[in-house]
């Protein structure tokens, strides 16, 4: 889990520092830079989590360890817009400092410094602790789930050949079908996790028709499976979130854009409860950090008792993205009787289009 993230010179972000909770919600108007914050975390994760664990080398070549410095191999510079970008993450195990030098196109040189929590200065690194440290920043794609896409049936042949989930959630049933076939151990683990969150559902299963595969749910007390079209958006979203964790392996962070999209306000408590339980874990599941965006004042109301989980994202007068903890915006309010959603909608909390400010 990332406890603190420092970002400098990344897209619209000139410089900002974020203190992160297990569940973090970014609110603000369109084009404020919320997605850029998710992209920064994704860029950082991709750079410090190579496809293979770090290994020591004797000649100091890229990939080897020198003192407390890990030299990363060049990466494709597709999201860097300035000559030098810096991303620093602090976790429970230490600090990771990533600096990328390069132009807006072409490869970039990356310099990665890993400092374990107990380090007093440069020292020989234990490869196991380095890999454990960076593994805590491993994140998913940036998902923007659509309930209708999550429910869509997938051609059986596509499911067998791909086994992936698109950014909008299409392919969920196919990915889980492939997981059941290829990794029955992970499939059984997902089933156990799902039952921890939804005790009323005994098992997730599959239905096939006309060469397509879709999901069904066996609920307690029912004599027939319930089709995915007939269960709540909250259950479908939970299925997708658990699937993402198993899709990418040991995911530590899940990045989401507006997971409440398409969910009726009366059903938002299901989405919120799902996200909180995933971020905290249960006796049978491991916690996963969630960083998400939201445009819903109703969703924000769910965080009245945990305002430290919310960050207001805006553009400064100079045009750069700035991040303000919600706690800083509400601590001096004379009247706290209004809901957070009402305060945000009115413009009192900021994070609204300029013309909408009170």
Residue 112 belongs to some domain of the structure: yes
Q: Let me know whether 145 and 211 are in one domain.
A: yes
What integer best gives the mean pLDDT of the chain?
82
Q: Let me know whether 49 and 116 are in one domain.
A: yes
Would strands 310-315 and 321-325 be described as parallel, antiparallel, or unpaired? antiparallel
Domain end position, chosen among 86, 113, 140: 140
**Residues 229 and 170: beta-carbon distance below 8 Å:** no
Considering only 135-139, 143-147, 245-249, which range has the smallest mean pLDDT?
A: 245-249
Q: Let me know whether 89 and 122 are in one domain.
A: yes
Domain end position, chosen among 140, 158, 191: 140
Residue 188 belongs to some domain of the structure: yes
How many domains, in total, are found in the chain?
A: 2
Residue 301 belongs to some domain of the structure: no
Paired strand residues for 110? 100
Residue 77 has pLDDT above 70, yes or no: no
Residue 343 belongs to some domain of the structure: no
Paired strand residues for 17? 6
Q: What is the pLDDT of residues 89-126, one digit of tens each?
A: 999 888 888 888 765 444 456 677 777 776 655 555 56
Would you call 273 helix, strand, or coil by DSSP?
Answer: helix
CA distance 196 to 191: 9
Paired strand residues for 69? 66, 113
Q: Let me know whether 155 and 77 are in one domain.
A: no
Q: Let me know whether 175 and 121 are in one domain.
A: no
Residue 326: what pLDDT? 96
Q: Which domain holds residue 96?
A: 2-10+41-140
Task: Report residue 179: phi and psi, to 5°.
Answer: -60, -40
* CA-closest candidate to residue 101, choices 128, 83, 88, 122: 83
Q: Let me know whether 73 and 46 are in one domain.
A: yes
Domain end position, chosen among 118, 140, 162: 140
Residue 158 belongs to some domain of the structure: yes
Per the confidence metrics, is the pTM higher than 0.85?
A: no
Report residue 338's pLDDT band, with 50, 70 and 90 as the boundaries.
confident
């Amino acid at each position: 889990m990332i406890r603190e993230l420092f970002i400098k010179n990344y897209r619209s972000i000139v410089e900002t520092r974020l203190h992160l909770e297990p569940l973090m919600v970014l609110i603000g108007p369109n084009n404020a830079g919320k997605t850029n914050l998710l992209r920064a975390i994704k860029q950082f994760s991709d750079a410090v989590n190579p496809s293979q664990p770090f290994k020591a080398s004797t000649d100091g070549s890229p990939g080897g360890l020198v003192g407390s410095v890990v030299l990363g191999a060049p990466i494709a510079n597709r999201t860097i817009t300035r000559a030098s970008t810096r991303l620093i993450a602090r976790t429970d195990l230490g600090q990771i400092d990533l600096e990328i030098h390069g132009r807006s196109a072409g490869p970039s040189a990356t310099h990665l410094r890993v400092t374990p929590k107990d380090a007093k200065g440069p020292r020989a690194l234990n490869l196991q602790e380095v890999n454990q440290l960076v593994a805590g920043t491993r994140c998913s794609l940036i998902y923007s789930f659509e309930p209708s896409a999550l429910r869509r049936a997938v051609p059986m042949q596509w499911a067998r050949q791909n086994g992936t989930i698109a950014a909008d959630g299409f392919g969920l049933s196919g990915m889980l079908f492939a997981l059941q076939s290829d990794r029955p151990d992970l499939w059984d683990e997902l089933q156990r996790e799902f039952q921890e969150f939804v005790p009323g559902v005994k098992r997730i299963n599959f239905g096939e028709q006309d060469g397509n595969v879709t999901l069904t749910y066996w609920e307690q007390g029912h004599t027939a499976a319930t089709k995915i079209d007939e269960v709540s958006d909250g259950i479908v979203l939970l299925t997708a979130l658990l699937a993402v964790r198993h899709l990418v392996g040991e995911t530590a962070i899940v990045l989401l854009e507006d997971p409440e999209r398409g969910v009726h306000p009366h059903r938002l408590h299901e989405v919120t409860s799902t996200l909180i339980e995933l971020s905290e874990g249960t006796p049978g599941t491991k916690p996963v950090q969630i960083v998400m965006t939201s445009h819903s004042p109703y969703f924000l109301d769910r965080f009245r008792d945990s305002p430290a989980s919310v960050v207001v994202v805006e553009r400064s007068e100079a045009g750069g993205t700035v991040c303000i903890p919600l706690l800083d915006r509400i601590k001096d309010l004379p009247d706290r009787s209004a809901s957070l959603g009402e305060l945000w909608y009115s413009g009192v909390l900021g994070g609204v289009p300029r013309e909408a400010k009170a």
